[in-house]
Amino acid sequence: MTASERDRFEPVLKQAPAGSRSVVPPVAPPVASLVAPPSGPGTAPVTSPVTSPGASPGASPGSPAGSAPRRTRGLVLAGARVVLPSGTVDGGRVVVEGSRIAEAAAEDADVLDLTGHWLVPGFVDIHNHGGGGASFSGTADEALQSIRTHRLHGTTTLVASTVTGRMDALARHAGRLSELAEQGDIAGIHFEGPFISPCRKGAHSAELLRHPDPAEVRKLIDAARGRAVMVTLATELPGGVDSVRLLTEHGVIAAIGHTDATYEQTVEAIDAGATVATHLFNAMPPLGHRTPGPIAALLEDERVTVELINDGTHLHPASLELAFHHAGAGRVAFITDAMDAAGFGDGRYQLGPLEVEVSEGVARLVEGGSIAGSTLTLDRAFQRAVLVDRLPVGDVVAAISANPAKVLGIHDRVGSLEPGKDADLVVLDASFALKGVMRRGEWVVEPVIG
């Protein structure tokens, strides 16, 4: 985005409640404040416990997920400020035909006037453990509940992440999740652990951690039946660099994370094929003047995309700005790293084998108090990035849609609003609150305009 384009957004930004750049809010705002349905203020948009596929997960703006979504054919979305790869267009038009974005509309196509709104690509989350009171380490129904919850918040493409567990349990989860991937419900499986550093384990069970022996890594990706897309590992551990090579040969992303690597060890892993930094800054040594560590190596290398959890808890706004400044907007991917409580509420939860207490939206291990994933949804990450972090909207769209789609190698289908791609899109109001979600041409959240 050019400086002049950025200036054009200023009036919109000034209308919105301004956040402070210098203070990290103590807690993330409640989900309900961003996406509460008109009739139910004060309640989270997804309120029911885990339900079977097809059941409604609760109130939402427009049609609830789980009810028969309205098929849209020949629909013109007109009047919005549309964020395209080439820039932002005022009063732009996006034509939806079937499940795709089309070049031109039929004469009798319906027209939906979105004047005063933003139209952006559907969000792509490459690191997500669950939501809506359920997780991807549970049953297939629980996984579907997590998917539905995040779809209600704009995530139209989602990679399901596991946490450290016993190898046989992980293989079972992978088998179950591979079926969801085959059905197109998720974009693939991400294994976070068990090949991580005991020094930087965060909310992973210490006794279940293992060295990244390539044979063990191979077992997990085999269990995913071709649906493993990413493995997070501490590449400085014995077998780490060989495992990076193995993953790369199999077309699986090697992500450096939960690591105690030095700068030099990180460079070696990147040279071996690692291309993603798992939640940069979190669960890795800090940037030191004599020990720059993994952060410097991951930020400076153009082959690496850095994940950021933009919830106001995991990162100080200045750290986020540092990442955008050094990596550039083209190499940042916003993730949620969400756990069960996302889109659900405070309370006691299970993260793999560990107990977690969520209070005021912040998840912490009951034992030790480590931050244990987030309760973030990507609509909140988007709104925060624009209103609090003051990032240009185009940069936010890149970080939340286009870049993660590129990381997954599916940018030919999703991640931007272009003819021929899936009709995955999000409608936001002038304050960047979520008003509509369409996935593959069907409304997940139908916007109620005017």
Closest contact distance (angstroms) between CB of 311 and Zn ion is: 13
- State the binding string over 138-177 for Zn ion (x if CB under 5 A, else -): ----------------------------------------
Q: What mask, x for binding Zn ion by CB under 5 A, covers residues 39 to 58? A: --------------------
Q: Name the minimum Å distance from CB 414 to Zn ion.
A: 22
Catalytic residue check, 242: no
Kindly tell me the burial class for residue 43, based on how many C-beta atoms sit within 10 Å of its own C-beta (0-12, 13-18, 19 or more).
Answer: middle
Annotated catalytic residue, options 125, 337, 395, 422: 337
Stretch that binds Zn ion, among 131-139, 333-341, 378-386, 400-408 (CB under 5 A): 333-341
Site string for Zn ion, 335-364 (x = CB under 5 A): --x---------------------------
CB closer to Zn ion, 185 vs 337? 337
Q: How far is the CB of 342 from Zn ion (least distance, A)?
A: 12
Cβ pair 46, 31 in contact under 8 A: no
Q: Which residues contact 255 (CB under 8 A, 6 or more apart)?
A: 190, 230, 231, 232, 233, 274, 275, 276, 277, 278, 307
Smallest gap from Cβ 237 to Zn ion, in A, equals 18
Is residue 236 within the footprint of Zn ion (CB under 5 A)? no
Size of the site for Zn ion (CB under 5 A): 2
Binding mask 189-208 for Zn ion (x = CB under 5 A): ---x----------------
CB of 235 to Zn ion, least distance (A): 17
Q: With contacts defined by CB under 5 A, name the span among 309-317, 334-342, 382-390, 411-419 that binds Zn ion.
A: 334-342
CB closer to Zn ion, 81 vs 258: 258
290 phi and psi angles, rounded to 5 deg: -105, -15
- CB 339 to Zn ion: min, Å: 8
Question: With respect to Zn ion, which residue has the nearer C-beta, 337 or 422?
Answer: 337
Question: Which one, 155 or 416, has the nearer CB to Zn ion?
Answer: 155
Least distance in angstroms from the C-beta of 202 to Zn ion: 8
Q: Choose the stretch contacting Zn ion; rule: CB under 5 A; options: 92-100, 186-194, 204-212, 345-353.
A: 186-194
Selected range binding Zn ion among 184-192, 208-216, 223-231, 442-450, rule: CB under 5 A: 184-192
Contact, 281 vs 258, CB < 8 A?
A: no
Q: Which residue, 260 or 337, is less far from Zn ion as judged by CB?
A: 337
Please write down the HEC assignment for all residues of the chain. Answer: CCHHHHHHHHHHHHHCCCCCCCCCCCCCCCCHHHHCCCCCCCCCCCCCCCCCCCCCCCCCCCCCECECCCECCCEEEEEEEEEECCEEEEEEEEEEECCEEECCCCCCCEEEECCCCEEEECEEEEEECEECCEECCCCHHHHHHHHHHHHHCCEEEEEEEECCCCHHHHHHHHHHHHHHHHCCCCCEEEEECCCCCHHHCCCCCHHHCCCCCHHHHHHHHHHCCCCEEEEEECCCCCCHHHHHHHHHHCCCEEEECCCCCCHHHHHHHHHHCCCEECCCCCCCCCCCCCCCHHHHHHHHCCCCEEEEECCCCCCCHHHHHHHHHHHCHHHEEEECCECCCCCCCCEEEEECCEEEEEECCEEEECCCCCECCECCCHHHHHHHHHHCCCCCHHHHHHHHHHHHHHHHCCCCCCCCCCCCCECCEEEECCCCCEEEEEECCEEEECCCCC
**Shortest Å, Cβ 65 to Zn ion:** 23
Q: Give the interface with Zn ion as residue ranges (CB under 5 A).
A: 192, 337
Catalytic residues: 337
